[in-house]
Amino acid sequence: MQRYRLLAIDLDGTLLTPFPAKEVTPRARRALEIARASGLMITITTGQMLAVLRQVCAGLPLSGPQILENGAMIVDIASGAVLSERFLPKKHILPVLEAARSLGLYRAYHTPEGVYVDRHTPRARDWYRPPLPPAIEVDDVASLYPRPCIKIAAVGLPETLPAKRQQLEHWFGEALHVTQSTRDLLELLHPRASKGQALREVASLLGVAPAEIVAIGDHYNDVEMLRFAGLSIAMGNAPPEVQAVADYVTSDNAHDGVAQALERLVLPTLGWHSSPSAEETAAASEDPRNEEAC
């Protein structure tokens, strides 16, 4: 039986319950505590910044490098030291902003100091939760140039966003990393800024082989890290294309999908054993890949 050494886990849509609660359940917290006590290192892989990670993951057994801003930054959780950072190349900032505008998308300009969004951007007031300061609305985020830009995000309607993502990939795919992190949010980053690339770097820092890594995610920005990990787990709320690349599909983030996957597939490799409930067994057996993964 493979013994895993590193867990790479996404936040929104994965470890956190759905909006508006967006919290770590007691069951998931307990599973992570058991995993860490048994020797498994835990790296959060998120599109969020360090302040958000520290807020929503307060009390979790995190140590060492954490992956932020969809891979644009790797930061030591204890000290806050930046281990790696890749900002959006300046020559692409204004062309990306103009392209997003031409597609009718609202834009967000992520800087080390905070996030600026076009005025009237949907979800602007929900970008961060108190006590963190909200995103700052401005008439035109292009006015922020040439401030250093970690990434540019673009907000649009879920039903039209996939086509607009494809158009941005056509325009910038060879120069930048274009990804979709939620149903209504696209992100454009440095070409080597991705969760998958960052996970490779973290694994190298920690001396962990890909076969010793478990990755759990729910959206397109998680696909690269799912493909890199020895055991890949997609959430039940993930799009079908994301589920298709995973070894195992667990329940959704409203029904403790992370805890179910850890209890079934990971904790037993660390010496922990518990009989799943009848409901969990039935849910886990619905996807034929689940039995293969076990």
Q: pLDDT digit string (tens) for 136-185? A: 999 999 999 999 999 999 999 999 999 999 999 999 999 999 999 999 99
What pLDDT shows up at residue 126? Answer: 84
What pLDDT shows up at residue 284? Answer: 47
CA distance 35 to 76: 20
CA distance 35 to 88: 35
pTM: 0.91
pLDDT bucket at 275, cuts 50 / 70 / 90: low
Domains of the chain as residue ranges with CATH: 6-85+194-293 (3.40.50.1000), 90-189 (3.30.1240.10)
What pLDDT shows up at residue 287? Answer: 52
CA distance 108 to 130: 19
Strands (E), the chain: 6-10, 41-45, 65-68, 73-76, 82-85, 106-110, 115-118, 136-138, 151-155, 177-182, 185-189, 213-217, 231-234, 248-249
pLDDT at 292 over 50: no
Distances (CA, A) of 154 to 227, 260, 292: 25, 33, 38
